[in-house]
């Protein structure tokens, strides 16, 4: 039935003098709802059909990152402290020896960080994350079969550590930075919060498994879990928003002379994109490197020795693991809130406040006793948890998306120098003095220095001379 021209039938009724819209009644069913149609000359895709906007695929990337770090990453990074005392007792090691594999893995990550970053930029997150999670899973299975310090050292260093360096935080933050700009702080903080939330549940559960069935059995099941549940998540990671025809945050792609429509998988260049050579010539890069070094030296040391520190304070191993898990759980809403806030007021001031809070926590930990006073003080240490995601978001704020992984990787040798030395040094101090008092006081000073360093960072100017190098 035509709705154009003169209407001689009762089934078409004009609406006043507006000939653009006509009311069509169905000749078959009297109770059918009216349908509104337009004249053919006025019908366009924009006014005839309202299409519902699809959810931005970048949030799938955030979800996959959150699951990867919430389960796999939290067990690997935060769970090591649960293995610390049982492995030390089982293999007859000192605190310094037990901390050595972790410390050496930091040195290894420092050397491989720039290479890993280049590979992530070159080949994308999916391939490296898949390979890395498989290596980490196999490594934990292999670790469960070790019975000597040398075997423990080699497996942890060359299988577990090498795999984890490509499959957890560096890979996921690279993916998130690629897919987000305006909402970078929120997205990074969701990833960071998931890491802590996973720790809140996985660290106490891992402690129960270690104390009930032994560290070897616990390590075996960690490895199997990595292979079965974590490795397949790598397939969710797509190359970039440009690969699906949109820009960061799901915004339309801003066409420029440098953008090739025929190669949509490539990240679009902009005036805020820096090469690694340009970045390392700026004061902002080296100030960022110093702040990251200071805060990571304390963060890494405390989390390696967290359970031993709380046992030194008079708590049981299980209570220590429970307090660490509860701290991670309480950190989650704070991480999410400050991530949202950082997208609105900037990251430097928040980072400064976070690390002043963490430094104060370490000072107070020396003078309090009892589980709840200790936990109250540890809540201040949540500042270092909040600051982690903001630190990596700041790298993207300063130097852009396209070469983020490589530039972040260039920071790796710098802060991993501290992660190589400080956990072993803390273990040596404990062996020599029987106390963690010096470690906590020193950590407080370094955290406050990190706060002042982050407060001094200013966004560098991307001059035309640099842009055309």
Q: Could you read off the pLDDT of 115-127 as tens digits, one per residue? A: 999 999 899 999 9
Q: Residue 22: what are its φ and ψ, rounded to 5°? A: -130, 145
Task: Give the pLDDT band of residue 63 (cuts 50, 70, 90).
Answer: very high
Give the span between the Cα atoms of 385 and 63, in whole angstroms.
19
Dist. CA 299–CA 392, nearest whole Å: 15
pLDDT confidence bin for 463, thresholds 50/70/90: low
What is the dihedral sign for C-alpha 355, 357, 358, 360? positive
> According to the model, what pLDDT value does residue 16 have?
44
The predicted structure's pLDDT at residue 44? 45
The answer on 442 and 351 residing in a single domain is yes
pLDDT band at 466 (very low <50, low <70, confident <90, very high): low
DSSP three-state, residue 21: strand
pLDDT of residue 368: 93
* pLDDT of the residue at 36: 41
Residue 437: which pLDDT band, with cuts at 50, 70 and 90?
Answer: very high
Q: Give the span between the Cα atoms of 89 and 249, in whole angstroms.
A: 50
Report if residue 418 sits inside a domain: yes
Task: Give kind and range of the element (H or E) at residue 13.
Answer: strand 12-15
Q: What is the DSSP letter of 281?
A: T
Q: pLDDT of 248-293, one tens digit each?
A: 999 988 765 444 554 445 555 454 679 999 999 999 999 999 999 9
* Phi, psi angles (nearest 5°) of residue 24: -105, 120
Is residue 250 within 8 Å of residue 56, measured between CB atoms?
Answer: yes
Q: How confident is the model at residue 20, as a pLDDT? A: 43
Residue 265 lies in a domain: no
Same structural domain, 175 and 38: no
Q: How many separate domains does the chain show?
A: 2
For 319-339, what is the mean pLDDT?
89
pLDDT of 49: 43
Are residues 95 and 30 part of one domain?
no
Both 184 and 74 in one domain: the answer is yes
pLDDT at 72 (0 to 100):
84
Q: For residue 137, is it within any domain?
A: yes
**Does the residue 76 lie in any domain?**
yes
Q: Residue 20's domain spans which residues?
A: 12-48
Return the CATH number at 200: 1.20.1250.20
pLDDT for res 228: 95
88 and 178, same domain (yes or no): yes
Comparing 5-9, 133-137, 312-316, which segment has the lowest mean pLDDT?
Answer: 5-9
Determine, yes or no, domain membership for 202: yes
- Nearest of 465, 128, 112 to residue 275 by alpha carbon: 465
Task: Please give the angle made by the CA atoms of 365, 368 and 372, to the nearest 5 degrees.
Answer: 100
Confidence of residue 467 (pLDDT cuts 50, 70, 90): very low
Confirm if 383 and 355 have CB atoms less than 8 A apart: yes
The verdict on residue 4 lying in a domain is no
What would the pLDDT profile of 348-402 be if each residue is shown by its tens digit? 999 999 999 999 999 999 999 999 999 999 999 999 989 988 999 999 999 988 8
Residue matched to tokens 């799901």? 250
- Of residues 392 and 200, more confidence is placed in 392
Residue pair 399/459 in contact (Cβ under 8 Å)? The answer is no
Judge if 335 and 207 occupy the same domain: yes
Reduce the DSSP state of residue 191 to 3 states and report it: helix
Question: Does any domain span residue 188?
Answer: yes
For residue 213, how many other CB atoms are within 10 A of its CB?
Answer: 12
What's the average model confidence in pLDDT over 298-325? 89
User: In percent, how much of the chain has pLDDT > 90?
Assistant: 52
**CA-wise closest residue to 240 among 270, 203, 219, 265:** 265
What pTM did the predictor assign?
Answer: 0.72
With cut-offs at 50, 70 and 90, classify the pLDDT of residue 93: confident
Residues 93 and 28 in one domain: no
Q: Are residues 25 and 146 in the same domain?
A: no
376: left (phi over 0), alpha (psi -120 to 50) or beta: alpha
Flag whether 262 is in a domain.
Answer: no
Scored b (16 or more CB within 10 A) or e, 42-69 reads eeeeeeeeeeeeeebebeebbebbbbbb
Kindly state whether residues 32 and 138 are assigned to the same domain: no
What distances in angstroms separate CA 322 from CA 204, 247, 304, 325, 436, one per listed residue? 5, 43, 16, 5, 20
Q: Are residues 32 and 116 in the same domain?
A: no
Q: Are residues 73 and 36 in the same domain?
A: no
Mean pLDDT of the chain: 84
- Same-domain check for residues 288 and 363: yes
Band of residue 53 on the pLDDT scale cut at 50, 70, 90: low
């Amino acid at each position: 039935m035509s709705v154009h021209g003169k209407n001689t039938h009762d089934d078409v009724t004009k609406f006043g003098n507006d000939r653009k819209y006509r009311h069509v009644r169905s000749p078959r069913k009297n109770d059918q709802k009216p349908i509104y149609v337009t004249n053919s000359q006025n019908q366009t895709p924009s006014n005839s059909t309202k299409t519902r906007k699809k959810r931005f695929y970048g949030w799938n990337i955030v979800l996959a990152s959150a699951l990867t770090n919430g389960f796999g990453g939290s067990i690997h990074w935060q769970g090591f402290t649960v293995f610390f005392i049982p492995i030390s007792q089982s293999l007859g090691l000192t605190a310094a020896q037990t901390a050595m594999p972790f410390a050496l893995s930091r040195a290894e990550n420092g050397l491989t960080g720039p290479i890993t970053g280049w590979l992530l930029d070159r080949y994308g997150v999916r391939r490296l994350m898949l390979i890395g999670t498989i290596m980490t899973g196999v490594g934990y299975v292999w670790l469960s079969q070790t019975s000597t310090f040398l075997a423990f050292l080699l497996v942890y260093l060359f299988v577990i550590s090498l795999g984890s360096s490509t499959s957890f935080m560096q890979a996921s933050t690279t993916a998130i930075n690629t897919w987000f700009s305006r909402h970078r702080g929120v997205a990074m903080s969701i990833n960071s919060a998931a890491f802590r939330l996973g720790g809140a549940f996985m660290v106490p559960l891992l402690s129960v498994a270690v104390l009930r069935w032994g560290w070897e059995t616990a390590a075996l099941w960690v490895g199997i879990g990595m292979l079965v549940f974590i490795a397949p998540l790598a397939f969710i990671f797509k190359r970039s928003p440009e690969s699906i025809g949109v820009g960061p945050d799901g915004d339309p792609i801003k066409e420029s002379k440098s953008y090739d429509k025929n190669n949509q998988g490539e990240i679009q260049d902009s005036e805020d994109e820096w090469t690694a050579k340009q970045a390392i010539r700026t004061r902002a890069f080296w100030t960022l490197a110093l702040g990251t070094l200071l805060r990571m030296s304390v963060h890494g040391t405390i989390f390696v020795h967290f359970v031993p520190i709380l046992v030194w304070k008079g708590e049981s191993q299980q209570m220590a693991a429970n307090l660490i898990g509860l701290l991670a759980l309480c950190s989650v809403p704070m991480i999410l809130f400050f991530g949202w806030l950082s997208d609105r007021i900037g990251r430097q001031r928040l980072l400064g406040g976070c690390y002043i809070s963490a430094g104060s926590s370490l000072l107070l930990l020396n003078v309090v006793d009892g589980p709840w006073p200790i936990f109250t003080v540890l809540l201040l240490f949540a500042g270092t948890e909040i600051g982690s995601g903001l630190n990596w978001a700041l790298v993207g704020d300063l130097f852009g998306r396209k070469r983020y992984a490589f530039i972040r990787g260039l920071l790796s040798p710098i802060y991993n120098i501290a992660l190589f030395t400080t956990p072993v040094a803390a273990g040596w101090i404990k062996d020599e003095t029987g106390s963690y008092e010096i470690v906590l006081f020193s950590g407080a000073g370094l955290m406050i220095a990190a706060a002042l360093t982050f407060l001094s960072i200013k966004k560098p100017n991307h001059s035309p001379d640099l842009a055309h190098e």
